[in-house]
Amino acid sequence: MKKILLTGFEPFGGEKINPSEAVLELLPDTICGVQLFKERLPVTYRESSALALNALHMFAPDAVVMLGQAGGRNGITLERLAINLDHAKAADNAGETRMNALIHPDAPAAYFATLPIDAMLEAMHACSIPCSMSISAGAFICNHVSFEMLHHLYRTGATVLGGFIHLPYLPEQVEGKQDVPCMEVSIMLQGIVAALTALTRVLNKGDV
């Protein structure tokens, strides 16, 4: 049985909820015969990627799909890249701020996601889910975890596919705010299930 590791984040920046965590909780345990493992990560530079890599070693998945919140975006975005930079004015949930810091000084400037993101995007479009490709996951914790994960997978020559998906705000996060886009959790769920279904097709290819 093939396996996918899914990660999501705890709330941050004064929010009470993180859409990635909400979606993680609603996802089933299997999709198209592929087992899903879920890991909730802290929004900290120090612990997030260590926990993600720990889950990778524990579950030994065939693919890793990392989820996070990108407030202000109006659809689900598939990240093409993870960059070798920690650079955000905002402090993480441990109070740490990092600016102009390379994540791994000897590593490349960026890694491409290895998930089948074209097929995943097409699958979401086919369900009329607002979604698009993104070339920047920012330089905060989401990018940090994504870069550390892809760095590990590229460096070890692992055949495990990996990549990051950003989710917009949930409706309850934008109450009282004007012109801030949001998406119902049921639509996010439908989008992620469609994207994962496309991924399972790739993973199951070659299986008898």
> Where on the chain is the footprint of ligand PCA (CB under 6 A)?
9, 12, 18, 20, 43, 68-70, 138, 140-142
- Our CB check for ligand PCA shows the closer of 34 and 182 to be 182
Tokens representing 29 are 């345990």
Catalytic residue status for 104: no
Q: Could you tell me how far CA 106 lies from the centroid of its own chain?
A: 24
Q: Quick one: 163 or 200, whose CB is closer to ligand PCA?
A: 163
Please answer whether residues 30 and 2 qualify as being in contact, where contact means their C-beta atoms are separated by less than 8 angstroms. Answer: no
Catalytic residue flag (residue 142): yes
Rounded to a whole number of angstroms, the minimum distance from the CB of residue 90 to ligand PCA is 9
Give the C-alpha distances (Å, rounded to integers) separating 124 from 10, 74, 89, 117.
25, 14, 33, 10
> Closest approach of Cβ 99 to ligand PCA, in Å?
14
Distance between CA atoms of residues 66 and 115, nearest Å: 11
Taking the least distance from each CB to ligand PCA, the nearer of 138 and 168 is: 138
What is the smallest separation between the CB atom of 12 and ligand PCA, expressed in angstroms?
A: 5
Q: Which of 39, 142, 144, 152 is catalytic?
A: 142
Residue 71 DSSP class:
T
Shortest distance, position 142 Cβ to ligand PCA, whole Å: 3
Q: How is residue 93 annotated by DSSP?
A: T
Of the two residues 34 and 78, which places its CB atom closer to ligand PCA in the complex? 78
- Tell me, what DSSP letter sits at residue 176? T
Token duo for residue 132: 């698009």
Is 79 an active-site residue? yes
Q: What amino acid positions are annotated as catalytic residues?
A: 79, 142, 166
